[in-house]
Amino acid sequence: MKAGCSIVDKPEGGGGYHFPEWAYKTESSPGSRQIQLWHFILELLQKEEFRHVIAWQQGEYGEFVIKDPDEVARLWGRRKCKPQMNYDKLSRALRYYYNKRILHKTKGKRFTYKFNFNKLVMPNYPFINIRPNGVVPQSAPPVPTASSRFHFPPLDPHSPTDDSQPAARFPPGSLLPSHPEALGDAERKAEGPELEENTSDWRRDLLAPSHPSGSAAAQKRKPDVVLPLFPRPGIFPDHPHSPFAVSPLPGRPGMLNVPISPALSLTPTLFSYSPSPGLSPFAGSSCFSFNPEEMKHYLHSQACSVFNYHLSPRTFPRYPLVVPPLQCQVPLEEQPQFPIKLQPPPAGRKNRERMESPEEAAAGAATPQLPNPPARVKVEPAVEKEEEEALEKRDEVGEEEEKLPVFARPAAPAWIPIPAHPGSSGEEAAEASVEKPSRDSCGDPGNQEKREDALMPPKLRLKRRWNGDSRQEIPEGIPNGIWHLPKAVATASDT
């Protein structure tokens, strides 16, 4: 039917930019692995051509504004072959990201959202370098500071640091200041064929094929890259350049190659949110080297910025994350498969009323054969509950402890703010902690803490304490070997 809408063909070897297969697989992982909206948004943001449609908001890390909602929706609709797409729908999809913490809304600013890059990019794409100056011309993502700080050095001998080498980058073409003129209607034209018609194309575009396998590929790619990937062979056997590579460190392929939702897996938060229990992204994901200081700085800024934006109250405190995003200590072989566990986002709260409505039952009687149709009952995941559960689990299951080690180790990045609670990830904590000070209105930080204390098993308490201490200063304990920071690589930019 719609010829133009082919989707996903995964970049077989020649793709240039490689996402792990699962990233695009439609079937392999939960949810269709077609391009995800946030991904698409990033794509647009990276491209200058779409600057007038959607662009980074100056001054705010990760914040972007949809200048032309309809157009963005249209583009999205094209990409997904959903001609009926409109901003309302698209925005609904974006809203789903709130809970996932991939995005949040910038209150008060129309059509303005903000990426949680620290979750999205940093941890997962430590190697990604989004720098305003160098690469990204004007639409420099406000994230840069951080990003640039986290410029990771190339492990791969071949690939120079990053910016210059197009080994594998995110959206290559976009960055370039390239044809400003073309941009004008580029959105329509360019995207017409490129974006919608074949994903390969757009992907290529996006992904910046360093290896112009095809002929077409070479055409527009420019040397500049916004998000250089960390090309490290061995991570993903099949996709050496995969940004999703879990970590620059050599790991066990089998383990790392987890089919996780790109979106989810991307964020540390998400880490915990493993869609499928069987997948553990962490094995390697959290391991990458960085400079604690920089990281700290970055997170701080992120946190601050996030802080300013009124996140959905519900999104914040709710996810008891367990794992600190980064730590490489554990020998991969022994690394626990699932050190992290994220509780699913809270369900709605208004449903209960309806749940009981007998009428509905009657209405729906058509199907229900079982006496107890309560299946649809949506449980309200009270935060407390989640926490409790988490604690309980940890308590009961010794195994869970395996995960803990993660925390226990000094590996925990100092920059990671004290976890709001045992289950929270550093990031989460970071945000939360930052938020707390000034943001009481939001929820009940204080109470929560108390509650936590009460509930918290001694072990956790200790851990927490530990974290708290460590937060004060960066533990030197962190062996460089572990965190290995590539010393400065980043530098570059800024300013």
Under rule CB under 7 A, residue 82 binds DNA: yes
Under rule CB under 7 A, residue 368 binds DNA: no
Pick the binder of DNA from 1, 3, 59, 88 (CB under 7 A): 88
Instruction: Decide: 416 and 475 in contact? Cβ < 8 Å.
Output: no
Minimum CB distance to DNA smaller for 66 or for 490: 66
By three-state DSSP, how is residue 251 classified? coil
Pick the binder of DNA from 6, 28, 57, 112 (CB under 7 A): 112
Helix, strand, coil % over all residues of the chain, rounded to 5: 45, 5, 55
Under rule CB under 7 A, residue 276 binds DNA: yes
Minimum CB distance to DNA smaller for 220 or for 314: 314
Pick the binder of DNA from 189, 252, 376, 450 (CB under 7 A): 376
Minimum CB distance to DNA smaller for 98 or for 290: 98
Under rule CB under 7 A, residue 2 binds DNA: no
Residue indicated by tokens 């980058």: 169
Q: Report how many helices (DSSP H) and strands (DSSP E) the chain contains, helices first.
A: 23, 4
CB of 416 to DNA, least distance (A): 24
Minimum CB distance to DNA smaller for 227 or for 264: 264
Minimum CB distance to DNA smaller for 166 or for 275: 275
Per the DSSP assignment, residues forming a β-bridge with 448 are none
Cβ neighbour number for residue 352 with a 10 Å cutoff: 12
Minimum CB distance to DNA smaller for 349 or for 450: 349
Pick the binder of DNA from 17, 19, 38, 64 (CB under 7 A): 38
Minimum CB distance to DNA smaller for 132 or for 275: 275
Considering only the stretches 78-86, 171-179, 407-415, 431-439, report the one whose residues sit in contact with DNA under the rule CB under 7 A: 78-86
**Footprint (CB under 7 A) of DNA, residues 52-71:** 69
CB of 433 to DNA, least distance (A): 22
Q: How far is CA 288 from CA 153, 260, 284, 482, in A?
A: 11, 19, 8, 8
Using CB under 7 A as the criterion, what x/- string covers residues 246-265 for binding DNA?
Answer: ---------------x-xx-
Considering only the stretches 27-35, 214-222, 413-421, 431-439, report the one whose residues sit in contact with DNA under the rule CB under 7 A: 27-35
Residue 189 CB contacts under 8 Å (≥ 6 apart), including other chains: 182
CB of 167 to DNA, least distance (A): 27
Pick the binder of DNA from 84, 215, 441, 472 (CB under 7 A): 84
Q: How far is CA 31 from CA 63, 88, 103, 259, 261, in A?
A: 26, 21, 19, 11, 8
Under rule CB under 7 A, residue 120 binds DNA: no
Under rule CB under 7 A, residue 195 binds DNA: no
Using CB under 7 A as the criterion, what x/- string covers residues 319-358 for binding DNA?
Answer: -------------------------x-xxxxxx--xx---
Instruction: Decide: 61 and 117 in contact? Cβ < 8 Å.
Output: yes
In 3D space, the residue among 127, 173, 169, 130 whose CA is nearest the CA of residue 148 turns out to be: 130
Minimum CB distance to DNA smaller for 179 or for 393: 393
Instruction: Decide: 127 and 162 in contact? Cβ < 8 Å.
Output: yes
Under rule CB under 7 A, residue 110 binds DNA: yes
Which tokens belong to 462? 């200790």
Instruction: Decide: 142 and 135 in contact? Cβ < 8 Å.
Output: no
Residue indicated by tokens 């729906």: 364
Under rule CB under 7 A, residue 179 binds DNA: no
Kind of pairing, strands 103-105 and 54-56?
unpaired
Under rule CB under 7 A, residue 100 binds DNA: yes
Cβ neighbour number for residue 31 with a 10 Å cutoff: 14
Minimum CB distance to DNA smaller for 236 or for 273: 273
**Footprint (CB under 7 A) of DNA, residues 280-319:** 312, 314
CB of 318 to DNA, least distance (A): 11
Under rule CB under 7 A, residue 37 binds DNA: yes
Under rule CB under 7 A, residue 13 binds DNA: no
CB of 219 to DNA, least distance (A): 28
Residue 101 φ/ψ region, left for φ over 0, alpha for ψ in the -120 to 50 degree band, beta for the rest: left
In 3D space, the residue among 79, 286, 302 whose CA is nearest the CA of residue 200 turns out to be: 79
Hey, what amino acid is at 358?
P
Residue 11 CB contacts under 8 Å (≥ 6 apart), including other chains: 17, 18, 19, 24, 200, 203, 204, 207
Q: How far is CA 289 from CA 126, 329, 363, in A?
A: 8, 11, 57
Minimum CB distance to DNA smaller for 26 or for 58: 26
Kind of pairing, strands 112-115 and 54-56?
unpaired
Pick the binder of DNA from 25, 52, 57, 111 (CB under 7 A): 111
Residue 55 φ/ψ region, left for φ over 0, alpha for ψ in the -120 to 50 degree band, beta for the rest: beta
- How close are the terminal C-alpha atoms of the chain, in Å? 49
Considering only the stretches 30-38, 178-186, 329-337, 449-457, report the one whose residues sit in contact with DNA under the rule CB under 7 A: 30-38
C-alpha–C-alpha distance, residues 149 and 258, integer Å: 28
Q: How far is CA 283 from CA 264, 272, 456, in A?
A: 15, 12, 26
C-alpha–C-alpha distance, residues 247 and 431, integer Å: 24
**Footprint (CB under 7 A) of DNA, residues 432-491:** none
Pick the binder of DNA from 36, 116, 200, 269 (CB under 7 A): 36
Binding site for DNA (CB under 7 A): 26, 30-32, 35-38, 69, 76-77, 80, 82, 84-85, 88-93, 95-98, 100, 105, 107, 109-112, 261, 263-264, 275-276, 312, 314, 344, 346-351, 354-355, 376, 378
